[in-house]
Amino acid sequence: MGSAESRPNPPPLSRTRSEQVQVPQALLEADLTSIPRSSTISRSSGLSSRRGSDKNKRRDVVKVSSSLVEGVRRKGVKYQTSKEIVQTVLEKLIEEYPEWNEELGEVCRALNQESDLLSNSVDSLKLEQLFEHLIALTEDEQQRGWSCADDTAEITSMLTDLTCLLKNANPNVVVAVLQRLKYEPLLTLVQYYQLESRPALKKQVLEVLYESMLIKPDPTCSILLTSRLPVQLATDIQGTKVLNQLEMQCNVFCAVLSYPNVMPRSHYDQLDDRFITHLLTELEATDTPHDPEGQLPNNFLKCVLSLNLHYKDLNHNKVCSVLKSRTTLQPHGDAASSLQQNR
């Protein structure tokens, strides 16, 4: 064992290429050109100069951490995973070289601090481009008044990219973009959903809306609740006979109506006895070709319960009125056990 004095000094932060620690290529390719040289941390800096530049240094450290995460994110890695990769690399470097703890520790802690979300993220630009494409597409649909078979692949690709972006991007970036656009893309999606007649594309639109609600329930659910979406979904639920489409329709309907906001008065008229009766009838259905495993009754039960949340006065509760008019209610599958638990 050598003495403490004989221990070799740690390598300096600025190393030759041959001496560099092996870090993921994505991190090496992170765009740090916009970071001023003054952001590098010098051991020789005097105490007075450190105090004078603390605020700027903190801002620069946040830029460094954000740039590292963005460098990994550009490789197609999810935002949260990208942040975990950068954090793991930084922590490993600190473990191997404790002398770097102060400098790299600041970068590591800055991973949870975000600034200038709209200009510093590649996701914000792509999200705005997709929303612009969606607006142009909706306006085109309105002008034509009919669907063009040739644009199916283009629209499918656009909606797929939008769904993937909502799932993988920094949620705070998504919220920042929606807030800047005053959540108008949500209403554009609803409008396009009403115009579109192709089931596969309608399902994709619902997937985008569902992901949006998961990211920011409030005010997303409130905006969708006051739109025409619940009424359109009620119509589609009554006419759809495809299992995966019905499941998505029911999921979005329940998510929108389960949020504790007041529906527009016109919705109470259009989500009428006929719709409620249809849901209850499907709850009791035993021979449904498009649902051989009996998965749908539970979805229909959720629709009934979510709609019931919007009736405060028992004397004017349409759900209770329809139930009262039926002599029995015998749900099947998972709905039966769910109903039993809620009694």
Calpha distance 300→282 (Å, rounded): 7
Residue 60, classified by CB atoms within 10 Å of its CB into exposed (0-12), middle (13-18) or buried (19+), is buried
What local confidence, expressed as pLDDT, does residue 325 receive? 87
Return the sign of the alpha-carbon dihedral for residues 324, 329, 335, 340.
Answer: positive
Complete DSSP assignment for 202-213: HHHHHHHHHHHH
Place of tokens 């050109």: 33
Q: Which long-range contacts (CB under 8 A, 24 or more apart) does 34-38 make?
A: 34/63, 34/67, 35/60, 35/63, 35/64, 35/67, 36/60
Q: Which two tokens stand for residue 128?
A: 């705005």
Sequence-separated (6 or more) residues with CB below 8 Å from residue 246? 237, 240, 290, 291, 296, 299
The pTM of this model reads: 0.74
Neighbour-count burial of 128, counting CB atoms closer than 10 A to its CB (0-12 exposed, 13-18 middle, 19+ buried): middle
Amino acid at 147: S
Contact 12, 100 (CB under 8 A): no
287: Cα within 13 Å, side-chain hemisphere:
0
Which pLDDT value is given to residue 69?
86
Strand, coil or helix: 252: helix
> Within 10 A of 72 (CB to CB), how many other CB atoms are there?
24
One-letter amino acid at 273 equals D
What is d(CA 325, CA 68) in angstroms, rounded to the nearest whole number?
63
Question: Looking at residue 19, what is its pLDDT?
Answer: 44
Measured in whole angstroms, how far is the alpha carbon of residue 244 from the centre of its chain? 20
pLDDT of residue 64: 84
Of 203, 258, 208, 204, nearest to 230 by C-alpha is 258
Q: Which amino acid is it at 169?
A: A
| Local confidence pLDDT in tens for the 343 residues of the chain | 444 444 445 445 444 444 444 545 554 455 544 444 444 444 444 444 444 455 555 557 888 888 888 888 888 888 889 889 999 999 999 999 888 888 888 888 888 776 666 666 788 889 999 999 999 888 877 666 556 657 889 999 999 999 999 999 989 889 999 999 999 999 999 999 999 989 999 999 999 999 999 999 999 999 999 999 999 999 999 999 899 999 999 999 999 999 878 899 999 999 999 999 999 998 887 777 778 788 889 999 999 999 999 998 888 899 999 998 887 666 655 554 554 454 4
Report the C-alpha gap between 301 and 293 in whole angstroms.
Answer: 16
CA distance 209 to 218: 13
Give residue 2's pLDDT. 46
Q: Which residue in the block uniquely carries the two structure tokens 């460098």?
A: 71
210, HSE (Cβ side, Cα atoms, 13 Å): 18
